[in-house]
Structure formats: structure tokens, C-alpha cells
Chains A and B, each alone.
Chain A
Amino acid sequence: MTKVVGKPLKRKEDPKLITGNGQFTDDIKLTGMLYMAVKRSQHAHARIKRISVDAALKLPGVVAVYTGKDVQDKIKPIRSIWLVPGCDLIAKDRVPLAVDKVNYTGEAVAVVIAESRYLASDALDLIDVVYEELPAVVHQEAAIEGSAPVIYNDVPGNVAFTWKAGEVPEEVFANAEVVVKQRFYEQRVAANPMETRGAVAQYNPGSGELTLWCTSQNPHIHRLQYSEALGISETKLRIIAPDVGGGFGAKIAVYTEEALAAFAAMDLKQPVKWIEDRQEHFLATSHARDQVITTELAGTKDGKILAIRTRNVASLGAYLSTMGAGVPTIDFGLMVTGAYTIPYAQAETIGVYTNTTPTDAYRGAGKPEASYQIERIVSLFAEKIGMDPVEVRRKNLVQKGSFPYTNPMGCNYDSGDYQKVLEQALEAAGYAGLRKEQEEARKNGRLLGIGISTYVELCGLGPSAVAGAIGFGGGLYENCTVRVHPSGKVTVLTGASPHGQGEGTTFAQVVAEKFGIPIEDVELFHGDTHMISMGWGTYGSRTTPVAGGALAIAADRVIEKAIKIAAHELEVSPEELKFEDGAFMVKGDPDKKRTFKEIAWSANNAWNLPAGVEPALEGQCFFDPPDFVYPFGAHICVVEVDPDTGVVDLKKYVSVDDVGRILNPLIVEGQVHGGLAQGIGQALWEQTVYSEKGQLLSGTFMDYAMPKAKFFPMIESSFVESPSPVNPLGAKGVGETGTTAAPSAVVNAVMDALKPYGVVDLEMPLTPEKVWKAIQKGRAVK
């Protein structure tokens, strides 16, 4: 049997999806189904004086209207799942519908249930809400000033928590030869998966069972939360995530609309569907980033980094979302030293409530922020001491022989050869030549810039004991069941919930190779809490390292059992058998054998099993990894800035990543490219913008600039493979590398291009207007 792991096989999932045969939440149509539409607040901060729903109820076809008062005793608030300890966190939970006060533009105040989606939507206009507007606070730095409006009386200064990790002795900075300090703004962005959120709820009044199809990255977390919010036993609540059209973190969070649809289905005893439109998505689905990070670096004149100290003022939005507190603290703070051996580190994060949409995870979640500040400050440090940014990195990167390397926050970087990755990237980009080209270009008044990012990322979440210690309200192990049918075909069930990552293919590759069967014989099933054992979902680049770990072990358990049965049939001891290319062969007598298919048949029939061996052929594993995984990479970006227009032209992008063992290079490269599109998008184009009064100004794709294929050069990616020692597949996770690496690579490149004008930093996104203004300012100073 040929090796299939490591081969660039096309995705098994794609024929279904690209022929329009996917089954997404909106494709589910049930008899007697009603439709829900949501009335949302037009104000960022206001008291609700009165809600009149009579006119809406009179519209023919409208079945019900619910306001906050109608449901406040029926649906509990949705709790945040990540209550970060040791930071005096005051968690403000989302209520299903606002009752007395709205705290952000777009907050739900009422829902209409009607016989059609159009009727439900029309009826929203007939609901009259009278508000008393209150002063709003939008930006977190303004929110913590004494004069700012207070959103919650029991949250003084709007500060939800103050979190600290690590400590740098004061004398380290006081005595340092070089200190660099810079404020960075990680702007607010939106994940924008192609499929918006949605839910279909069906209730059986006879059995009391509720089935909720919804756009979830983690159905078991949704079951945990909705079971509590709706007061339904887990045995009666079935969450199904059908095909999910991308999530990027926005579908981790547990929201209120899905619970409202479920409540309405129970109340009305009819199925209810809610599908978010794109304008709603911009208002109501969690935003991300929005962190003001001030970083100080202490170093020596010859380029050694001694300490990093950060202060992150993070906007949580108006409520604490599912992972809202964890992202800017644990995810960010533990990785502030990046890929460098830095003796001292200190991270402080102030979580702030603002009158904006709640923030939560988005592809990378905390790591892009950590990577951005360290990669930017290291380049500024290089600039300050007059050293090439590559040289400074060479001097400080974790050295090859020192893995596992424990960073000052206690994270154990698992494996790697950072120097090799960096040198490979320099070689691929032609770095030395690029610097010469840049010198020539500058003489001719052309603004060529070269940016480097050598990022490291914490992912593969993670050991459950650590999850408990950091206040995560669940475990982070994962499960896989490998079920061998009588024909020898295999179904794999997993608690991870892929929604575009391609595990239908990569997991099949692993099983096919282990069992010596065709990849076509293996199917992956996921996303159904009634069918799948407890699991935690897909996010944090955990599916291959953690669920893949469970998969490998479960498959091995199948083989272990199959060997016993084969040995029994061949009348030898199990030790006398070897399993190769799908056959159990007697060592030294390869003609005496049983195929995997034959054993699948006999195991499932159980006509002749050895003593003590149970019928059927199925293996399960709950894999709890001993530690996290740490992908590393070196990315080089080349830009040319047009001095007359400020337009940034991406000329070249080189990525070299070590994501551990690669199961399918085609999928891995796709993951890198997709992440890069979003990372470069954050650097150059994307931003969620509010007016001073908290009105969302970027509410359509005309206003929110999504990256388009034509914006990019051919991305030149290659890989170095250092298997991770913390999981059986040696995988490190790849999904978030692009968003973690790219923003600093691009911004470093643009700053390098603008060096002749003395520009030190610009806030992302680097729009032509912003760049042009910086050039004008630089010219004026000159």
C-alpha cells in the first residue's frame, strides 16, 4: 500500500461543496417552519423607555413578538466560558434581549416570529422603541478616563479586569543601554466568514427534545451553554453543526439569537429558523482585536534583547463574550516575548467595557497581537541601534539545541530549528539582493520596503489541566472514534468540528495509511452532540494536533484488537504477526495472512473470536495532550509605496513555516495562504469603524474592505518540518500562522519603505490616505 500521509491529495469534501450540494443551516427546511427576525438597537447606549409591539402583531402572518420582558424569566443570560482568574474579573453576561438598557448599536431588543422571512423582517418596522439616549463611550482609552460615561454602575471606570503576568525588575530598564518604547494599535476587525450565523430549532412537545442546527465551531460548548440558558437536559438537547461556511473564531462564541430561536420553537411548538444577514453580521457577530498595546524593549547596543514589558488596553465591547477575557490576557500575554530568548518579560492587560459589539476570538486570537508588538518593536530596536533587522533576529532567536525552550511566562516551545527556517526564507526572498535593489531604488526616489517577521505561536489547545488553571470553563482534550464496518469501510467520529479545514481528507489519509485501505473507504463524521462523545470543537489550531492525536491512538487500538483476531484465525500468537500494507502476516511466512477487510468482517460477525475479545471493531480515544504546540515561521514581505498616492503595492511575499509534520501539503499551503490573506488584510485594508457616538460606520462590504485575490502577488511558501513531540502525529497546527505572521511583516515593510521620511509607526490598516499623509508630513519636516 502506498503512503498517503504527506501527499498533496485534493480534498474529499470539495466535490460536494463546489457542486452546490453542501447542507448548510439555511438549507434546512422543515414542515411548518416559522422565521425569526431581530429588532436591533439604533443607539449605542440608551435607556429603553417603551416598546410597542401591537402594530407588528397585527400584521397578518406574524405569529409572535417577544421583548426582553417576555423572555427574561425564560432564558438565562449566556455566560462567558473563560473566566480568567486572578484579575478581579467582573463578567457582564449577554441577556437574550435587552430589558431596560441597550449597551451597543445592534443589540437585540425584540424578535418577531412570522410565517415568512420577509414578513418577519417587515414587522420589525412596526415595532416602536422609545429610547432615552445616554452618552456613549466607544474607545477603550477614553473609557478608562475618569470623565467617561459609565456603562455599568458596578464596574467602576468601565474596567472589567486588570491582569498581570511576569515581572521585569525596574533596574533592568533603568540600567539598559537601549530602551525602545512604542504604542501599537491592533485595530478592530470582523471575521466575516462567507456564511453568516444562523439557527434552525425544532421541538418535539411529546418527548421534550429540542434539536438545534446552528453555525457552530464547537457544538458541545453550545450544548453546554444553551442547556443551561434554556433549562434543558443535555439528553434532550441535540446541537447539530451541519456544513459550516467558515468561522475564523466568530462561530466559537455562544450568542443569544440561537437561544431565542430555540425558545420560540418550544413556545410555539413549531420549527423556527433565523438566518443573519450581512448587515446584521457586522453589528451582531463578535468583532475582534481592538487592543492598544504599548511595548517597551530593553536591550544592549550590540543587539541583545534583555526585557519586554507590555501594557495592553483591550476593548471587550459591551459584554464579556465567550472567550472575550482569555484572548487579550492568556492568549496574548504568555507570548509577548515571541521567538526570542529574552530573560525578563512582563505583561499587563486592562479589559475595558465599551459601547461596542463584544469582541472575541478571531483567527489567531491574542497571538497575532503578541506577534505584532514583538515583531514591530524588534524591528524598531534594530533601527535604533543601526543593525539589520535580520541580524537582530539571528542574535536573539531561540537556538536549535535548546528545545523544549521555556519562555519567561512558562510556555514550553516544543521543537524547531528557527535559524534554518529564517535562512531558508532569506534565501527564497533573495534578501541580500533585495537590500541592494532597495538602495538603488532610494537613489531614484522610489520607496521600496522589506519587512520581516519571525513569529512563534501558541496553539493546539491544549492540556485540560492548564485549561482549568487558566479559568477556561471546560476541558481541552479531544475525542475520536474509529468505527470499522463489516465491509472494512471506516467511519471516523470526532468531537472537533471542522468547517473548512479539510480534516475529512487529512484524517482519512491517516486512517487509510494506518489500515492500508483506500482513502475513499474512510469518511469523517462530526458536529452532532447526540452522535459524538464529549469534545471541544475546532479553534486554536487544535484539530490536527489534538483530535488528530486521538485519531492516531484510536486507530492503533483498532489494529491492536484486529491483530488478536487475525492471530486467533491464523492459529499463531499476536507476537508472531506483523501488520503491513493492510495485511496481518505471519512473520517469515507472508503467504499466511488475513487482510484488514477480512478481519473487519470476522470481527463484526463474531463467529470465531479469541477468548476475552469483544465483538465488533471500533477504537476510541480521548486524547489530552501533555502540552501546547508552537509553530514557527519566517515571513518576508516586499512592498513599494507610491509617494504620490500612498498606495502600497505588495511585490513579494515569502513564507517559510514549521508547522510540524505535514499530513497534506496542499491543504497546509491553502491554510497558510488563507491566513495570509486575512493577516495582510488587517495590515492594509480591513477595519471596523464606529462614529464617536457608537454608530457602526463599516456595516457593508462597500465600507469594510475585504481582501480580494487580485490584491495579492503569488505567495511563495515553503516548509520546514520539525515534528512536535507532544502528539502522536507530530503536528503543530497551521490555521493561524498567516494572521499571526503577516501584519508585522507587512507593516515592517511599509515602515522600511517610508524610512526616508522618518516615519516610525502608523496604525493599521495602512490605507493610501494614511500613508500619503505620513509622506506629506515627512516632506514638510525635511
Chain B
Amino acid sequence: MRIEYSYTFDLPKDTVWRYIQDDRVLRSSLPGCQTFEEMPSGIYAAELGLNTGPVKGLFSAEVQQVDQIPPTYYRLLVKGKGKPGEIDAVADMILEEAEEAEGGTKITCVAEIEVTGVLASVGQRVMVGVAKVILGQFFKAAEKEMQNEI
């Protein structure tokens, strides 16, 4: 399924670019993040305790950030596995100067997500909503972290 979600940071584009892929920021702002470690391969291994609708329980995930075009684009690859099923997401992350808020940055996430198991047979219907809630929580927490960093 396809999800499109936008969030506007009250921060300049360069700042958002610098921190949005920063592992410390990610560790603190990913919802329910219990571990977040970079492996030698450059892939991050994370454990996330999620609890939104059918997406419930501990998910172990591999997160990869690739194809960066600073400071406007990168691609996020997430493979997660939990008791209710597996998640495979490919997200294009686009940063642009916000039109509505001067000096702000709008980030748009366009993701293709595939799920298996109960997540698919029971959760598909609400998955788009769940993903948006989780993304919203993440961006909001990330903004707070970025403000603390600068």
C-alpha cells in the first residue's frame, strides 16, 4: 500500500537534513525505540515497541538510508519483523522549504509498504492510518530532539 505524509519543521532545511538521519536523533525519536545500533554493514538494527491498533508488540527492524541527494532527498529502507507479521517499507523522503512557514522545512514521505500475516489479513484496512500516526509521532519527536541539539 502507498502512504504519503508531510510534516513541517520549524527549522531550516540544512538543520533538518543534518539531524534527520542522525542515529542519536533517530534513537530518541523513533516511537518505542529500545535499541538502535549501527552494524558494520552500515545498516541500523533497531528494536521498536509499537502499540498502535493491530501493530502491537516488539518489532525488530533493519533500517537503511541510501541514495542521498543533500539536502533534499534520501531513501529509507525498513524491514521489520514482529509477532503479528512482517513489514517491508521503501520510503522516499523529500525535503523542501516550507511555503506556509518562513524558514521552515517541509518533509514529505512517500512510502510503499508491504505487510504479511495478521498485519495484512486484519490490519490492512487501518494500516495507512496507523503508519501516519507513527510517522507523525516520529517527526514531532525528531523536531524536539533537533531543537535540543542546536
The answer to whether B122 touches A279 (Cβ under 8 A) is: yes
Which B55-108 residues sit within 8 Å CB-CB of chain A? Answer: 83, 85-86
Contact of B118 among A43, A279, A702 (CB under 8 A): A279
- Tell me the bound Cα distance from A703 to B120 in angstroms: 11
- Contact assessment for B125 and A695 in the assembled complex, using a CB-CB cutoff below 8 Å: no
State whether the Cβ of A700 lies closer than 8 Å to any Cβ in chain B: yes
Once the chains bind, are A703 and B116 in contact (CB under 8 Å)? no
Q: Are B117's CB and A697's CB within 8 A?
A: no
A282 and B121 contacting across the interface, CB-CB below 8 Å: yes
Structural contact, B121 and A283, CB atoms closer than 8 A: yes
Total count of chain A residues near the partner, CB < 8 A: 17
The answer to whether A105 and B116 touch across the interface, beta carbons within 8 angstroms, is: yes
B120 touches A697 (CB 8 A): yes
Among candidates B86, B114, B125, residue contacting A702 with C-beta atoms closer than 8 Å: B125
- Assembly CA distance A282 to B118 (angstroms): 11
The yes or no answer to B115 lying at the interface (CB within 8 A) is: yes
For residue B28, CB closer than 8 A to chain A, the reply is: no
Any B CB within 8 A of the CB of A233? no
On whether the beta carbons of B124 and A697 are closer than 8 Å, the reply is yes
**Contact across chains for A700 and B120 when beta carbons are under 8 A apart:** no
A691 at the interface (CB under 8 A from B): yes
Residues on B with C-beta less than 8 A from A252 are none
Quote the shortest CB–CB distance from A347 to chain B (angstroms): 35
Residues from 220 to 263 in A contacting B, C-beta threshold 8 Å: none
- Contact indicator A699/B120 (Cβ below 8 Å): yes
- The contact of A700 among B85, B116, B117, B122, by CB within 8 Å, is B122
User: When A42-B116, A42-B117, A693-B114 are in contact, do A703 and B124 touch as well, CB less than 8 Å?
Assistant: yes
Q: CA–CA, A282 to B121, complex, Å?
A: 9
The reply to whether the CB of A696 lies closer than 8 angstroms to some CB of chain B is yes
Q: A693 CA to B121 CA in the complex, in Å? A: 13
Among residues of A, the one whose C-beta sits closest to the C-beta of B124 is A697
State the CA gap A697–B124 with chains docked (Å): 6
Contact A700:B121 (CB < 8 A) given known A42-B116, A693-B114, A695-B115: yes
- A104 to chain B minimum Cβ distance, whole angstroms, is 12
Known contacts A42-B85, A42-B86, A125-B83; is-contact A699 B122 (Cβ 8 Å): yes
The interface centre, meaning the residue of A43, A697, A698 with most chain B CB atoms within 10 A of its CB, is A697
A710 to B122 Cα, complex, angstroms: 25
Question: Which A residues, 681 to 713, have Cβ-Cβ distances below 8 Å to chain B?
Answer: 691, 693, 695-700, 702-703
CB nearest neighbor in A for B116: A42
CB of A701 to closest CB in B, whole Å:
11
Chain A stretch 273-305: residues in CB contact (< 8 A) with chain B: 279, 282-283
Choice from A125, A695, A698 contacting B116 with Cβ under 8 Å: A695
Q: Can you name the residue of chain A whose Cβ is closest to the Cβ of B85? A: A42
Minimal Cβ-Cβ distance residue in B for A696:
B121
CB distance from B120 to the nearest CB of A (A): 4
Which residue of chain B has the shortest Cβ distance to A42 in the bound complex?
Answer: B117
Cα–Cα, bound, A458→B114 (Å): 44
Q: Which residue of B lies closest to A695 (CB)?
A: B120
19 contacts between A and B (CB under 8 A): A42-B85, A42-B86, A43-B116, A105-B116, A105-B117, A105-B120, A279-B118, A279-B121, A282-B121, A283-B121, A691-B114, A693-B114, A693-B116, A695-B114, A695-B120, A695-B121, A699-B118, A699-B121, A703-B124
Instruction: Identify the 4 closest CB pairs spanning chains A and B, nearest first.
Output: A699-B121, A695-B120, A42-B117, A42-B116
Known: A125-B83, A279-B118, A703-B125. 12 other contacts (CB 8 A): A42-B85, A105-B116, A105-B120, A283-B121, A691-B124, A695-B121, A697-B120, A697-B124, A698-B121, A700-B121, A703-B122, A703-B124
